[in-house]
Amino acid sequence: MIMKTWVDNKPIWWKEEAEGAPVAIFTVGTLCRNVAGFFFPVRMGEEEKERLEILLKEALTQFDEFSVDEYVSFAGVSPREHLFLSERFLVSYDLLSGIGRRGVFISRDQRFSLMINGGEHLVLRSVFAGAQVEKVWELLNQIDDRISKSIDYMTDSRLGFLTSDLNLVGTGLKLFVILHLPGLARTGSIMLWEEKLKSLGFYLNGIKTGPPVDARPLSIPKHLVEQGFHSTIGTPVTVGFIETVGSLFAIGNKYTLGFSEAEIVFSLSHMVSEITKAENDARQKLLSSSRLTLEDIVGRAEGVAYGAKFLEFAEAIELWSALQLGSSLNLTSKNIPSLPLPLLFELQGGHIIINLTGNGNNTVKMSLARASKFKEIFKN
Amino acid sequence: MICQKCKKKLATVRYAEVIDGHVTEIHLCPDCLIEVQNNPKGFKLSSEEPQVKEPKETIEDISKKAKVKSICSVCGTQLNYIQEKNKVGCFTCYKNFGPEIESILEVIQGGGTHIGKKLNYSNDEERVRAQFLLDTKKALIRQAIKAEDYEFAAKLRDEIIDLEKTISSWKMGKN
């Protein structure tokens, strides 16, 4: 029932006016906390996990946003129906593929989630449209303050918030922004940004479809997982620049130790705004130097998007990317004023399969459903 | 061969000395070797027995120490697992493998200390003590189960649950 509510009700941030759009697509923040007195999940037995789950559920249901009925337990349930939550970045892939007692609270507006017994005891997640790093941190901080009034966190005077993963110790804060950078990718200047960001403690990577490397396989067909974007606790699943799909990239903080939250938020916001400006400049340069080539790319994409009966996920993302670029440079026909944000999410395997009914060849049905999603944009 | 020094006893050792840049080799009996070694004329190239520094610790001490150091006494996490996966198993791992964890943090986080958000727990020392007590009890329960002392394990289990509740319900600034 709860699952149906989440499928039917779209996240509030899908409808928002997005700052930094269309270059900045969405911002994700993750805050990791562990409860004093318990082993980390990697060493916890089932009984200890259960005790912690009960303790956290009691504490979190004191929030107006949640009731016990809204807790989704992942233990012993097929991840097929939960895959779309990972694709919406409301749960990390680690939680889906984890072992034993674990689950998630998701706010009714799907703005934030609280994951229990994933890689860490408690992982707070928040998602906003566009580049809204400050707002993401503000919300996470507020929730964290409220929880810390009823739960005692595991901390150290020198290392800050202690985590099982040493990559998260300190602030426990990981932020990233998903960017669409076809201009910088085509001109090759993205390489210069990578170096610059690296020296400042940030990463800029391509986005990869499918599960994180070394993740436990889910008990569902692998091709289904491959048709979507997923995340680990702190970062999206990424690859090198060349292998990225749809010119989608992620920028985020590498370090959680030695930097304050304010520094991370300020620097990331600044960097995102710089890259957005550079991307818009690169697009204008491309337009003046290679207008015909761009028109050809966008025109072909429009033709396929309008006429295709079946669409594979990778092809659909490339089409989305071309149309998004065309729309921002007014190169598309009048039928496509702009691409809606939900389209990017609804093209993913988990989102499509949850709405499919009946048996039969799901691969064909999914390709058919995906192609029809594109047609909807021409109707608007 | 007869000793080239005393010319009486049987030579058992070939002895080499560097004098004024020239290597001189002579065959010596054990008695003459001791005498020559005590009054060398130049830089020794070889001796009857290799000179080895006495270790400060015995092999047993070292292996015992390595055994103790490489596994967390509380949660059983191995140091090589931490080094490979960058993941620790419990609060005590941070204390047991302090220098090793510092080295890992130096590589993956660039080192440093936490300068971000802090929760001002007024009972910090008490919290740390209680955490260690709890971790010790958890280590004991594993031993008790291994030794099939289920009565003691059950007692420890109840104590652990009580302690977990106490620690996790401490409120910021309240205690």
Please tell me which of the candidates B115, B119, B131 has its beta carbon nearest to residue A148. B119
Rounded to a whole number, what is the distance in Å from the CA of B98 to chain A's nearest CA?
Answer: 11
CB-based contact, A267 to chain B, within 8 Å: no
Rounded to a whole number, what is the distance in Å from the CA of B60 to chain A's nearest CA?
Answer: 30
Neighboring chain A residues of B111 at a CB cutoff of 8 Å: 257-258
pLDDT at residue number A77: 72
Contact B111 A173 (CB under 8 A): no
Distance CA A286, CA A283 (A): 5
Q: Are the C-beta atoms of residues A269 and A131 closer than 8 Å to each other?
A: yes
- Burial class (CB within 10 angstroms; exposed 0-12, middle 13-18, buried 19+) of A364: exposed
Which has more pLDDT, A305 or B33?
A: A305
Contact A39 B170 (CB under 8 A): no
Report cis status (omega within 30 of 0) of the bond before A342: no
pLDDT at residue number A87: 94
Contact A152 B167 (CB under 8 A): yes
CB-based contact, A55 to chain B, within 8 Å: yes
Q: Is the pLDDT of residue B1 over 90?
A: no
Integer-rounded Cα Rg, in Å, for chain A is 21
Q: Give the three-state DSSP class for A208.
A: coil
pLDDT at residue number B167: 73
Average pLDDT, chain B: 75
B51-57 mean pLDDT: 46
| Whole-prediction pTM | 0.80
Rounded to a whole number, what is the distance in Å from the CA of B49 to chain A's nearest CA?
Answer: 49
pLDDT at residue number A184: 95
Angle (deg, nearest 10), helices A261-289 and A190-199: 170
Rounded to a whole number, what is the distance in Å from the CA of B64 to chain A's nearest CA?
Answer: 24
pLDDT at residue number B21: 57
CB-based contact, B77 to chain A, within 8 Å: yes
Per-residue confidence in pLDDT tens, chain A, 380 aa? 567 777 888 899 998 888 888 999 999 999 999 999 899 999 999 999 999 999 999 888 887 777 766 788 887 677 777 889 999 999 999 898 888 999 999 988 899 999 999 999 999 999 999 999 999 999 999 999 989 888 889 999 899 999 999 999 999 999 999 999 999 999 988 988 988 898 889 999 999 999 998 888 888 888 889 999 999 999 999 888 778 889 999 999 999 999 999 999 999 999 999 999 999 999 999 999 999 999 999 999 999 998 999 999 999 999 999 999 999 999 988 667 678 888 999 999 999 988 887 665 688 899 999 999 888 887 75
Distance CA A23, CA A243 (A): 19
pLDDT at residue number B165: 76
Size of interface A-B (CB pairs under 8 A): 133
pLDDT at residue number B173: 34
What part of A 20-39 touches B (C-beta under 8 Å)?
A: 35-39
Contact A162 B108 (CB under 8 A): no
Neighboring chain B residues of A153 at a CB cutoff of 8 Å: 119
Contacts 24+ apart (CB under 8 A), A106-110: A106/A6, A106/A70, A106/A72, A107/A65, A107/A66, A108/A9, A108/A65, A109/A11, A109/A12, A110/A6, A110/A9, A110/A10, A110/A11, A110/A12, A110/A13
Contacts 24+ apart (CB under 8 A), A191-197: A191/A241, A193/A275, A193/A278, A194/A241, A197/A251, A197/A271
Distance CA A251, CA A200 (A): 12
pLDDT at residue number A311: 94
Q: Which of A112-126, A258-272, B15-29, B40-54 has the lowest mean pLDDT?
A: B40-54
Q: Is the pLDDT of residue B20 over 80?
A: no
